Each structure stands twice: as C-alpha cells, then as structure tokens.
Chains A and B, each alone.
Chain A
Amino acid sequence: MNNILKTPITSPRFQTPTTTVGSEEFDYSGFRNKFELEPRLVEMKRALRNGYYKQYRTSPEVDLLAECEADQLSWPQRAARLIRRMCDAQKAVIRPEERIVFTRTTGKIPPVYSKSQQQVLTAGRELHELGPISNICADWGMVLSQGLLGRRKIARSTRERLKNDPLAVEFLDCAVETVDAVLNLARRYSEEAAQNHRHDLAKMLDRVPAQAPRTFHEALQALRLCHAVLWLGGHYHCGLGRFDQYMWPYLKKDLDSGRIDVPGAEQLLAEFFLSLNKDSDLYPGIQQGDNGQSLMLGGVKRDGSSGVNELTYMALRAARAVGMIDPKINLRVAKDTSVELLELAAELTQIGLGFPQYSNDDVVIPGLVAHGYDLEDARDYSVAACWEFLIPGRGMEVVNIGAVSMPAAVDVAIRSGLTAGDSFEKILVRVSAELRSQVSKLAELSARLLLPPAPYYSVLMDGCLERGSDLSNGLKYNNFGIHGACSSNAADALAAVKTLVYDEGSLASQRLLDALNTNFEQDEALRKRLFDEAPKVGNDDARADAMLVKLFDLFADACEATPNHDRGGIFRPGSGSAMFYVWLAQGHEAMTVPVVGATADGRKSGGYFSSSLAPSPGVRVRGPFSVLKSYSKINYQRICNGGPLTLEVSDTVFRNPEAVHQVALLIRIFAAAGCQQLQINTLNVESLKDAQMHPERHKNLVVRVWGWSGYFCELDEAFQNQIIGRHIYGGPAKCGLP
C-alpha cells in the first residue's frame, strides 16, 4: 500500500477555502490547477491517433444469416443472436498500459436478414436511418447499481410471472441471452488478464459487469464494456447520460475511504475517456466523429437540488487533458451556476474542441414539463447525439425524425404571395400552411416507422425487463423530434420583404420576383441591398427577430396540431439544423423538400444556410451580446427539442489573461438571457485554411461541425468551407495600441 492510500482523505480535499455548491460543501479551487496525463496515457493517446488499435481487428467477420435461417429464428431472436455472436467473436485484448479494457476486434456488423427478407419485413414501413435503435440513452445508473446479474434475475422472475405470454417469454429469453453473452465476454477478458498476470484486473472482470461495482474503477470498467457491446449490436449514437450523477456515488465512496485520491481518480477518468476513442472510427454517422457519445454533466438532481459535485469538475478537467473528440461533453447550467464551474468549462472551450455544449436548466426543464414530461424526469434530462433533450432510460424517442425546411416554406410563401398580390399577413398564412404540410409529411413518415427489436438495449432501460416488453414497443416517453432548420435565413427573408416591400414600399414586388427567378444575375444592386441593409437576425433588431419568433411559433402550431402518433407520442419542435444547412441549400439524396434557390434575404442559389441558431452566413451582426438578445426572444417553452445557439469565437480572445473569466461570464449571460442551448466554437481561420492546403500538418485539428466535433481534415470539403465562412467574434486588438 502506498502513502497516498494510507493518508486519510476527508472533505475538503484541497487545502484552500471552501465554497458551497448546492447542498454539498466542497472546495473547487484545486481544480483550477491543470493536470496532465500520466506517461502511460500520453502513449495511449498517441497510439489512438495513429490508429494503433486497428491492428487488433483480425477476428473473422461474423456471418449470421445461415444460422438464423437454419434455426428459423424470429427477429428478436436474431437481434439477440447478433449480440451473442459478436461478443463471442471478440478476442480479448489487454495492453500492458491499460487499466480499463475492451478493444473491438471485428469491423462490420453483419445483417440478420438478407436484403430480400428485409424488404418483405419492412414492406410499407420505414426504418429510421440505418435501422437499429439509435440516438437514445440507457439508464447507466440503474444498470451499474443492479449489475447484469441483477438485470438477469429480474428477467427470469418476469418470465416466470408472464410464462403464458409467448411474446414476453421470447423477449425475456432473448434479453437473458444477451446478458449471458456480455458476461461470457467479461469472463474471457478475465481469463486473458489472469494469463497476463494482471490478477487485479482479472478479479475486477470476474466482478463486473456481473455485479454492482464496489469502486470507481470497477464502475468505469463495467460501463466501458456494457456501452461497447451496444455498438456491437449495430446500435449507434449511444449516449452516456448524466455521468457525474450516476458515477459519483462510487467515486465518493472511494475518496471518503481513502482508496483513491483525486489525482488518481482523474487519471482513471482520463483513461475511460480515451477508451471511448478506440473504436470510434467504426461507428456509423453522417461523417466520422458524428458518433453521439454525448456525456452530460451538472444540472439539478431529480429533487431539484444542485447535482454539481467533484466529479463534475474532474470530468471537465479530464476532458481537457485528453483533448480528443470523445466523449462529447455537455454541461447543464442555470443563471445561478457558480462562476468557478463556468471557468473550468471555459478552459475546455478554450482548447477548441467545440465543447462543452451548454444547456440552460431554467429553460429546458419547464419546456419539457410543458410537453408532458414529469417534473422529476425533466430535471433528469440529458442530450441525444447532438443536442436533443431526452430522459435516460425512460425515452424511446426518435428525436430527429426529420427537419422542416424553413427557407423552403418561406420562399414558396414569398414567391406565391407576391405573385398573387397578397398582404403580408397572407404571406404568413402561406408560410404556416407550408410548415404544416411539411410537418404532416414527417408525421406520415413517422406513422410508418418500424423499430427493430433491441433485446440488449432493453436490458439497459427502465421497465422493459419488468414489463416483459422490448424497448421497440415503447417506454415512458415516445415522442418524435423535428428540427426547424435554417431559421435565420428564413426569418431574414421575411423581414426583408416585410420591411422593403410592405412597410417602406421602397421595393416593387415584381423586381424582387424577377431577381429571385434569375438568381440576382441582372440585379446585384438589389441583392446587396437585401443582404447589407435589410434587417437581420442577430442584431437585436425587432423587425427581424419578430419574424424569427413568428416562424418558430408557426412551427410549434403545426406540431401541436398534429395528432399524437400511434406510439403515443407528440411531435417536439426544435431549432437544430444538423447537416441541413448544406443539404437544404445544395441538395442531397436524403432530402424530400425541394432545394431552395435564391432567397429574399439576398442569398444566392447554392449558398449555405445558417446552422442551428446562428445568424445567416456572411451577414454583418453587432456581436455576441446582440446575438444572444435576438435568440432569447424565441418561445422555448414551445420549442423543446433542442438546437444550439452557436457562437464562433476567435482563439485570439484567449490570449487575454481574463479571457477564461470573460468566457465564463458569456455563458452566464446566455443563461440569464433565457436562451436554451449554446455552443462556443474557438476558431482560428488561418489554421483552418492551412489545414485545407496541408492536411498532413493538421491531423489533430478538431472543430465543432454541428452537434458534434470532428477532425477537420476528415470532413467533406463543403463542411470545411462552411466552417471557414462562419462568423467570428473577437477579431483584432483595439485601436491606438499594438
């Protein structure tokens, strides 16, 4: 036993004054000291970036089809068999520097049905994206506290109770099969550890994830394995939920008993974060990096008291020390969040990974309650892959069933309204009709949605084993989310028409129509006027902001007017744009709404739209305070699916000694202003341009793309260009002084 373990550690754990955060008193100031990865983790990170782990992907690919056919398996049985075979196919890999193990040794996820069978199975129905259940979050706290054997026991007892219900029996047998597969995988890792004379590790893997962890280390190992198996089953965008809430009891016990000290715990935490980057190139997404390993920190507990604890701080520090794109850190804040916590978050913002992403409890929780969520559940919210709010363990929600194209709705309304000689009010009626038509198309799509059985994911959710019903049949919350994409361009177009054509009467309808139809080719003067002089969202200009608010109200009206779908849920409107800011402008095979040509905000055909909540690309705005003001006007009680306000800050801002404090204050006023969600991206345009020219020099350059961060050089050029063209606040230093 070393000295650290002999020293009794009691709170406060740093020898400096204390502050009170919520109900728990502890000291934060020690957390401002940067910590660095220990050498074994530095080496692990280097190996990760070099793709070192790919060398282990040598296991023969699993082929399930023949076996599924021979055994005449049902769909749930095939889903369970997939988990079993994939677990069995994994070779145990234990590198000497690893204290938290699991490395994937197979690449592809094999199909459980042939193409033609799949067609029969899904006839008249629609699979969401790739098919398997995705973009939700398990109740990791429950899974850890019960252990997989605890879950298995519940499955067995429910099976006994429901033994006359063949569907329930089949589901529960499948669930047990997946539990046994994971336990078997853990056993083989344990054997490998023993062979490598890693007896502590072997003992740990004998214990978890079968039983409830006794230590922080065991809890991290259990989570690593249970989470990684989700990906083996073809699930993706697998969230990590409120990590500092469910992990804290294990860490607190260790810290209180002196089993571990803060620096030691932080190194373990950092290793866990690194481990989430091992296999992430195998995870499906729109582009590499879009893998949805979101991790939520902070916020209130289910009873409304502050949930911020030492792990909240440690996780922010560990994420900064790790400096990789996974996990994607989210932080819940409110107007009274301590500035110390915000400063630590700002230090993570500073390194330019594009996270943490901030959510405002003061706005999100009432918004969820207004949409039918129980208050206690609403207080327990986390985010899906990007930004959509969901309740871990209790939501089988499809948070991005699709997007309405606000620019398309507005453009159709403007062109047809001006042609018909409408009043401006009638143009708004047309916008409303367009939005309703788009929402109802998405609602039709959702009615055809087919969610495949997910026996293993069901083990990890609340109530599936208890009820004997697969996750795909629904949970407590079964809502659909719809993005309201590219709102700023749409609002600017409406504001330009209202101001110039209707209020001032300084622009003839026909001239605008001609210009739109010819992509401004013959009327550049008008385009400039629309682009430079018409009111724009982001300037705290009532004329433009009123249009933004109106658009979201009309969108919410459309969602509220849509009957609940047959899975019993509502349609939640949101403000995100995901990849739509490029797809809606330039076309994409996945889009059903038409590509929008030149628009009345002075944007030429093909130009990118605004991403989530950000001013239209290229327009001059006053700065981040006015941007916050503009977007604070949206009625977020009605717009609760999420979608962040995005501020791009020049990295030169951080050359100022007070920058961290100032960025912390910026986060505070975001909350105080009543905005919902915030991303602050730190950008250096010169380095981005250089990275386009010389990708080899910028392998590690990370940027925020939409709801996720990725390596810049691995992005498609269109997205690279969009990022380079984004607004940046905090340019050159001021006058009179160098």
Chain B
Amino acid sequence: MAAPIKIHFALLLFQMLTGVVFDIKEFAVHDGPGLRVTVFLKGCSLRCSWCHNPEGLSPEPQILRGAAEERLAGVFFSSQELADRLNGLADLLRQGEGGVTFSGGEPLLQADFVAEVIDQLDRLHVLLDTSGYADESSFRKVAAKSQLVYFDLKLVDPVAHLAHTGADNQPILRNLRVLNELGVPFVIRVPLIPGVTDTVANLSAIARTVAGMPGLQRIDLLPYNLAAGAKYTACGMVFRPTFNECLESKVNLSCFKSAGLKVRIV
C-alpha cells in the first residue's frame, strides 16, 4: 500500500493553480492527430483583426448573449479538476491515437496552470496550439512538456504584424527559435488573410524563416473563413477587419514547395 500513499502525498505538495477555460471540445478533428480533446484557455494578448473566437480574448469569464440564450464563457478549473476530467477520457484517447490539445485564446497566458495540468495527465499525448506570443520562460515550460506544437506564424514583417495583430512579432520569432532548440516536433500554421498574410512576400518570408529547422513537420495553410465575425455581437464587441473580407484567400503553395517544405491546406 506504499505507492498510493506516496501519490496522495505528492498531490498535497502541489500548489494547486486555477485556470480559466472557455470551452472543452471532444472530437476536435482539426486540432492534431487522432482523437483529441481540446481545452480552450481564455485570454490572449494579440488582437488579430480576423480572430473568430472573440470570447477567447479577455482573460475574465464573460456572458455571451446569443439570439436564443445566454451562455457563460469562462469557467474556473483547478489544475486537478481539469486533469481529472481529461484523465477520465484517457483510455479512449489513447486507443484513438490522440490526446489533449491546449489552445485558446493563448494557452501560454496561463502557462503555469497548463504545465501543472500536463504534469497530472495520465500518459496522454499533449499538443500545444499557440500563437507563440509569450515570454520565453512560459514558452519553454509548456513546450518542453508537449509532444507536438502547432505554432502560428502570421506575418514576418514587424510593422505589418503590429498593424494587424496589435503586437510586436519579435517574441514570436524568438520563441520559434527556442522551439527549434528544444527539439519538440512542430507544425507551422498560417492563416491566409486576403491581402495581409497571403502575399507572396509574406509566405516566402515565412518559408525562409522556417526552412532548415529540424523539428518542422509541415506547414498548414488555413484559408480565411467568412464566418469569422459571427460571435462579436454576442460578446458585445464590434468586428473590424483590417482587410477586405470579400476577397478570396490566395492559396500559394509554391513559396513553400520551392523551399522543399511540406505544405498542405486545411
């Protein structure tokens, strides 16, 4: 009976952190390999004008007022509560060749909480889905505990990045290098925003940035979805795209293929 007592004691030593989660989605087919549960952590420092999950921006719980009903977006979980919930599905997730994806918002805004949840998971594959916008120690802490990272790379040009996302892209580019050093496999995800990120100049710059990185698995291009503005009203916000929504995303694979990079459209 020694082992269970030891585990129990170890749990007592945890400084149990609390996080804010705005959704937990089962069978999240777009969020990594196999059968996955995605935890959406609330709060993001970027203000990408094409963001289609505005309820993920504020770190605080908030009421969404839809046409039919009101819904609270944002629930407090202790790390153990969240881990217990995920572990309850662990057998199915393992048999389904999948695991858990931490997304957001920006999960690294709650890096200590996420790290503590990961430490309590029962042999589950962890995927970190991040904008890369975080301080280095937060990034290292969670990325090192992940088996795969989905890393967004939107704009390489710092001026354009600031204009469209409201933030400097230097921390993102630095964390990309950190990720490469860590040796954790990663996928670069590029939202194709018409006239903003889908230009040949930007896509070529992204290709140059990531070319030769040994951990790079592939590049995913995500064409813009016209439904992006759908939830702003419910959040009491106004959707103000900094681009012409009616244009079609240009899907240009050649920038990547010519650099010998694996690329696909999702």
Contact = CB atoms under 8 A, between A and B. Distances in A.
A730 B24 CA distance: 12
Interface string A662-688: 100110110011000000000000000
A737 B34 contact: no
Contacts of A230: none
B131 to A, nearest CB: 6
A393 to B, nearest CB: 36
Nearest to B51: A736
B66 interface: no
A673 B35 contact: no
Nearest to A653: B29
B35 A629 contact: no
Contacts of A540: 88-89
A626 B224 CA distance: 31
A658 B33 contact: yes
B131 A736 contact: yes
B14 to A, nearest CB: 24
A629 B224 CA distance: 35
A163 to B, nearest CB: 61
A672 B94 CA distance: 11
Interface string B236-259: 000000000000000000000000
Contacts of A669: 35, 92, 95-96
B28 interface: yes
Q: Which of A659, A662, A673 has the most CB of B within 10 A?
A: A662
Contacts of B103: 734-736
B152 interface: yes
Interface stretch (A67-75, A438-446, A606-614, A617-625): A617-625
A335 B38 CA distance: 25
Contact of A672 (B95, B104, B192, B228): B95
A31 to B, nearest CB: 21
A734 B225 CA distance: 11
B8 interface: no
A658 B222 contact: no
Contacts of A734: 25, 28, 30-31, 38, 40, 53, 103, 129
A625 B53 contact: no
A738 B25 contact: no
Given A735-B103, A736-B104, A738-B224, A624 B53 contact: no
A732 interface: yes
A735 B191 CA distance: 11
B19 interface: no
Interface string B107-127: 000000000000000000000
A39 interface: no
Contacts of A659: 29
B48 A665 contact: no
A665 B105 contact: no
B35 A736 contact: no
Interface in A644-668: 649, 653, 656-659, 662, 665-666, 668
B98 A665 contact: yes
A673 B44 CA distance: 37
> Contact size class for B?
35 or more
A625 B37 contact: yes
B111 to A, nearest CB: 16
Given A624-B26, A657-B264, A662-B35, A735 B92 contact: no
A737 B224 CA distance: 8
A653 B92 CA distance: 19
B164 interface: no
B61 interface: no
A733 interface: yes
B27 interface: yes
A702 B225 CA distance: 27
Contacts of A625: 26-27, 35, 37, 89, 92-93
Contacts of B228: 738
A572 to B, nearest CB: 29
A737 B191 contact: yes
Given A626-B89, A662-B34, A669-B92, A736 B48 contact: yes
Contacts of A656: 29-30, 266
A649 B129 CA distance: 24
Contacts of A657: 264, 266
B87 to A, nearest CB: 12
B50 interface: yes
B96 A738 contact: no
B56 A736 contact: yes
B131 A666 contact: no
Contacts of B95: 335, 665, 668-669, 672
A729 B103 CA distance: 18
A363 interface: no
A629 B89 CA distance: 8
A269 interface: no
A493 interface: no
Contacts of A626: 26, 89
B223 interface: yes
A732 B26 contact: no
Contacts of B44: 736
A628 B24 CA distance: 16
Contacts of B97: 665
Contacts of A730: 27, 29
A735 B53 contact: yes
Nearest to B52: A738
Contacts of B225: 733, 738
Interface string B188-228: 01011100000000000000000000000000001111011
Contact of B96 (A623, A666, A733, A735): A666
Nearest to B197: A738
A729 B26 contact: yes
A218 to B, nearest CB: 43
Given A668-B95, A735-B40, A738-B52, A622 B227 contact: no
A624 B29 CA distance: 12
Contacts of B104: 735-736
B23 to A, nearest CB: 8
A62 B152 CA distance: 72
B264 to A, nearest CB: 7
A657 B264 CA distance: 9
A656 B50 CA distance: 21
Given A625-B93, A665-B97, A669-B96, A736 B26 contact: no
A624 to B, nearest CB: 5
Nearest to B31: A734
A466 to B, nearest CB: 46
Contacts of B264: 657
Q: Which of B48, B191, B266 has the most CB of A within 10 A?
A: B266
A736 B53 contact: yes
A672 B35 CA distance: 14
B27 A666 contact: yes
Nearest to A620: B71
Q: Which of A540, A649, A665 has the most CB of B within 10 A?
A: A665
Nearest to B98: A665
Given A734-B40, A737-B191, A737-B222, A666 B35 contact: yes
Interface in A244-277: none
A288 B38 CA distance: 41
Nearest to A729: B27
Interface of B: 24-31, 33-35, 37-38, 40, 44, 48, 50-53, 56, 88-89, 91-93, 95-98, 103-106, 129, 131, 152, 189, 191-193, 222-225, 227-228, 264, 266
23 contacts: A622-B26, A623-B25, A625-B26, A625-B37, A625-B89, A629-B88, A656-B30, A665-B95, A666-B96, A669-B92, A672-B92, A734-B38, A734-B40, A735-B40, A735-B51, A736-B103, A736-B106, A736-B129, A736-B152, A738-B50, A738-B191, A738-B225, A738-B228
Given A623-B26, A629-B89, A673-B92, 12 more contacts: A622-B26, A628-B92, A629-B88, A657-B266, A662-B29, A662-B34, A668-B95, A733-B225, A734-B53, A735-B40, A735-B51, A737-B222
The 4 closest A-B pairs by CB, nearest first: A623-B26, A735-B53, A738-B225, A665-B96
